[in-house]
């Protein structure tokens, strides 16, 4: 099994089985001396449950997923050109497909004996919405190896500065210039103060939008930094856990050796005492034999 085959197996299996399967693969690679494989396998991160559902769609319902993500280009075009009717139609279609894909993922999960709830399906919907808004996220989802839950709360693609809103019907032809002698009771020109007020309101809303976009960018940076720190901490924890496992194995081996040594020590001590007793008995027997011999020789 190469690392891609391991990754496919891990990201296809339920998240609860991920860590044990990965750790077993890491252990086996180390035992056979394949450090490169062990390092690569140890870096594979367990997906969130919502990410696992997205991976399930990428692997089991790829055609339908591609159909959903194929709306991204049309949505972006409609947004840039301010094509209101097309945008409304596409947005409705997007919501329908996202909802249908989330339900299908729930059905696939239940087939795999994994429980799902509405909150989890909403998280999956957020991932699919983010994939429609961001091509990078779309590629992550298509890979079938997504590990994180993603949500998108941006303002969509920027509009083309030269674009005009699309209209359903053609605009009416311009009216002929008014005769200054006619309609003396016509409404007066718009109040300049009202025009200035509306312009100030528009400018205030532009600033509010700029502030909101700046805040969103800052929060995204903090989110990315937090995710990077979480990834670093998770990897450090994984390394520490592996070190503890290695030390535990060494300790268990040392404890077995100590018990075996203690047993051998007791047996050797018993053998030494028995040998000492036998040596004492033999010495006594020798002394008696010598004494009898001396008596015989002196009497003779």
Q: pLDDT of 251-260, one tens digit each?
A: 878 888 888 8
Least confident of 29-38, 133-142, 198-207: 198-207
Look at residue 235 and tell me whether its pLDDT is greater than 50.
Answer: yes
End-to-end CA distance of the chain, in Å? 94
pLDDT band at 24 (very low <50, low <70, confident <90, very high): very high
Max CA pair span of the chain:
179
Phi, psi at 142, each rounded to 5°: -65, -30
Q: pLDDT of 188-210, one tens digit each?
A: 566 777 777 887 887 777 777 66
pLDDT on residue 172: 41
Q: Could you tell me the CA-to-CA distances from 226 to 45, 152, 222, 223, 231 in Å, in that order? A: 16, 17, 6, 5, 8
pLDDT on residue 267: 87
The C-alpha atoms of residue 177 and residue 271 are separated, in whole angstroms, by 128
pLDDT on residue 251: 85
For tokens 């209101």, the residue is: 84
For tokens 């559902």, the residue is: 53
Per DSSP (E only), the strands in the chain are none
**Mean pLDDT across 20-39:** 93
Indicate if the alpha-carbon torsion angle 122, 125, 130, 136 is positive or negative: positive
The C-alpha atoms of residue 161 and residue 38 are separated, in whole angstroms, by 52
**Mean pLDDT across 218-226:** 62
pLDDT on residue 155: 41
Look at residue 230 and tell me whether its pLDDT is greater than 70.
Answer: no
Q: pLDDT of 54-110, one tens digit each?
A: 999 999 999 988 888 887 777 766 666 666 777 687 778 878 888 898 999 999 999
| Continuous H helices in 81-117 | 84-111
């Amino acid at each position: 099994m190469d690392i891609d085959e391991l990754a496919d197996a891990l990201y296809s299996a339920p998240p609860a089985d991920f860590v044990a399967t990965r750790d077993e693969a890491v252990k086996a690679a180390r035992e056979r001396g394949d450090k490169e494989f062990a390092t690569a396998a140890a870096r594979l991160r367990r997906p969130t449950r919502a990410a696992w559902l997205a991976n399930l769609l990428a692997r089991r319902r790829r055609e339908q997923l591609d159909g959903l993500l194929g709306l991204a280009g049309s949505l972006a075009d409609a947004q840039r050109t301010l094509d209101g009717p097309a945008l409304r139609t596409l947005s409705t279609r997007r919501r329908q497909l996202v909802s249908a894909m989330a339900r299908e993922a729930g059905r696939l999960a239940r087939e795999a004996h994994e429980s799902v709830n509405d909150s989890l399906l909403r998280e999956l919907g957020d991932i699919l919405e983010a994939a429609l808004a961001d091509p990078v996220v779309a590629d992550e989802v298509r890979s079938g190896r997504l590990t994180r839950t993603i949500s998108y709360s941006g303002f969509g693609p920027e509009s083309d500065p030269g674009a005009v809103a699309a209209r359903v019907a053609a605009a009416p032809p311009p009216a002929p210039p008014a005769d200054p002698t006619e309609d003396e009771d016509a409404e007066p020109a718009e109040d300049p103060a009202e025009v200035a007020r509306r312009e100030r309101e528009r400018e205030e809303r532009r600033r509010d939008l700029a502030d909101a976009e700046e805040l969103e960018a800052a929060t995204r940076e903090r989110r990315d930094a937090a995710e990077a720190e979480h990834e670093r901490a998770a990897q450090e924890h994984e390394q520490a856990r592996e070190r503890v496992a290695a030390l535990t194995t060494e300790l268990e081996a040392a404890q077995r050796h100590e018990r075996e040594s203690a047993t051998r020590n007791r047996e050797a001590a018993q053998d030494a005492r028995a040998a000492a007793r036998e040596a004492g008995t033999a010495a006594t027997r020798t002394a008696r034999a010598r004494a009898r011999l001396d008596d015989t020789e002196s009497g003779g």
